[in-house]
Amino acid sequence: MRSSHWTIPRTSIAQLLPRRLVNSHSAALLLISYRGYRFILAYGRGWQAIERSWVDPRFGLRVVANAVSADRVRSVETRTLGGRHLSRYTAMPTAGPLYELGIEPINTLVRQLEGIPSPNLAGSAAGSDSLRLKISHFSLAQLGEKLDQIIQLDESDAYKQDYDFLDYYHPIRNEPVQLRLNGEVDRLLREGSHQIAFAPPDVGEPITINHYVLCQGKRVSQELPELTAESVASVIADWSVKDPLELRVAAYDASGEAVGRRLRLRHYVVTETVLDGQAYIAAAGDWYQVDTGFLAELQRGITAIPDCTAELDLPEWDLNQYPEERHYNDSLACRGWKVLDRRHFMIERPGQKVEICDLLTPAKQLLCVKRMTSSSALSHLFNQGWVSWQLLADNTEGSAIPDIQGIP
């Protein structure tokens, strides 16, 4: 048997590679004027060339809400207002009821919606400002027919039946109002106020981001593990920045590769403010006006709740005497009330358990206790009460209600 012996000369990797490496990406934009609308169809990475100010805010969201029934939703992207300003992407393995996504309309801004529309539109549809349709077989010869469908859905208000909460927040495009609101944010940024929070406009990015840097022209800040009110205010002061919202933010992963595009600081700002008696919120580069009708309806609902303050006669929560919630709850056990705080009960649903309430009175009143330190704490309180109420309402015979008899 003959054998071969190969000798590989010592060399560098660079010598083994071609002299010129080219990394290319396919991208294209198709601009169309049709029935008074102007559409931009993006292919590949072409969307990166689209200026955000050109796009009709929430256009895709309206179309999807009108095209997808409330029992055929697949995912939702939200921004929680108040507290930690959480950005969430929630998805289900298969399309299902809207309520299973756990949207809290009172303090949640819906940024994107995805679901299964009728087959004649697309296999699936996702919308935020832009609209994405998944179509198995499509030809440009069918474009006019498809745009007719999209326009009809955009102009419809059928979504109000199941997605009325989308109208709780209206995008603001009034330039004088925007300038006044931006002026307030400018002041808060310079002060390093904790009324300002920062969140990447795209939900998927925080997972891969290792650090940020702020940029102005050729200036680059030191690496910032997080964008905080203090760190941003420090850069603004050191550089004597004239317009803080125009600072660029560059995000990088652990290997030093850029994550997404360099966006202005305005796209990261999350805050709430009041102007001329009207509430506004900023998120992902846009200003939203809180619907006054929604606030009035909410106030009417709160006013209608029976006041049982005198009946319960709860003692004042003195932090010196009761530094934590559990201390306050335990102090009420002497009234014959059962303390269920931190007690989780299994219910007849796979792998699910629930804290029914914090205190249970002999009259079967379920009391949920929380210090109102922030809007997120208040939201947690209401959510706990809602879960318990829903459990009781859905199980009138008590089959899925945990047995709490005989609890010490």
pLDDT in tens, 371-403: 876 655 666 777 778 778 777 776 655 444 455
Using an 8 Å Cβ cutoff, are 269 and 232 in contact?
A: no
Q: Is 354 helix (H, G, I), strand (E, B) or coil?
A: strand
Query: Cα–Cα distance between 84 and 87 in angstroms, integer?
Result: 9
Cα–Cα distance measured from residue 284 to residue 111, given in angstroms and rounded to the nearest whole number: 9
Show the tokens assigned to 273: 């403010």
Alpha-carbon gap, residue 293 to 199, rounded angstroms: 28
Alpha carbon distance 323, 329 (integer Å): 11
Banded pLDDT at 79 (limits 50, 70, 90): confident
H or E element, residue 387 = helix 375-394
**pLDDT averaged over every residue in the chain:** 82
User: Please, are residues 85 and 270 in contact by the beta-carbon 8 Å criterion?
Assistant: yes
239 contacts 219 by C-beta, under 8 angstroms? yes
What tokens does 354 get? 């629930």
Alpha helices for 88-240 (secondary structure H) = 143-155, 175-191, 229-239
Average pLDDT on 212-236 reads 94
SS3 35: coil
Q: Which residues contact 239 (CB under 8 A, 6 or more apart)?
A: 216, 219
CA distance 170 to 279: 11
Helix (H, G, I), strand (E, B) or coil at 144: helix
Please list the residues that pair with 212 across neighbouring strands: 224, 251
Residue 214 has pLDDT above 90, yes or no: yes
- Residue 49's pLDDT band, with cuts at 50, 70 and 90, is confident
Q: pLDDT-derived band of residue 171, with 50, 70 and 90 as boundaries?
A: confident
Contacts of 4 (CB under 8 A, 6+ apart): none
The DSSP symbol for 156 reads -
Closest-CA residue to 282 (of 292, 268, 263): 268
- pLDDT over threshold 80, residue 64: yes
Total Cβ atoms within 10 A of residue 316? 7
**Cα-Cα end-to-end distance for the chain:** 86
Collapsing DSSP to helix, strand or coil, 123 comes out as: coil
Question: Which residue type occupies 233?
Answer: A
Q: Give the three-state DSSP class for 166.
A: helix
The pLDDT, as a whole number, for residue 298 is: 72
β-bridge mates for residue 282, sequence order: 271, 287
Higher pLDDT, 39 or 389: 39
The structure tokens listed for 17 are: 């590679």
Residue with the larger pLDDT of the pair 217 and 405? 217
- The three-class DSSP label of residue 289 is strand
Of the given ranges (61-70, 182-191, 192-201, 397-406), which has the lowest mean pLDDT? 397-406
**Once rounded to an integer, what is the mean pLDDT over residues 89-109?**
80
**Which pTM value belongs to this model?**
0.62
Separation between Cα atoms, residue 168 and residue 46, nearest integer Å: 32
- The pLDDT score that the predictor gives to residue 400 is 45
Q: What is the pLDDT of residue 264?
A: 92
Is the four-CA dihedral 151, 155, 161, 162 of positive or negative sign?
Answer: positive
The average pLDDT across 91-102 equals: 83
How many Cβ atoms from other residues are within 10 Å of residue 405's Cβ?
Answer: 4
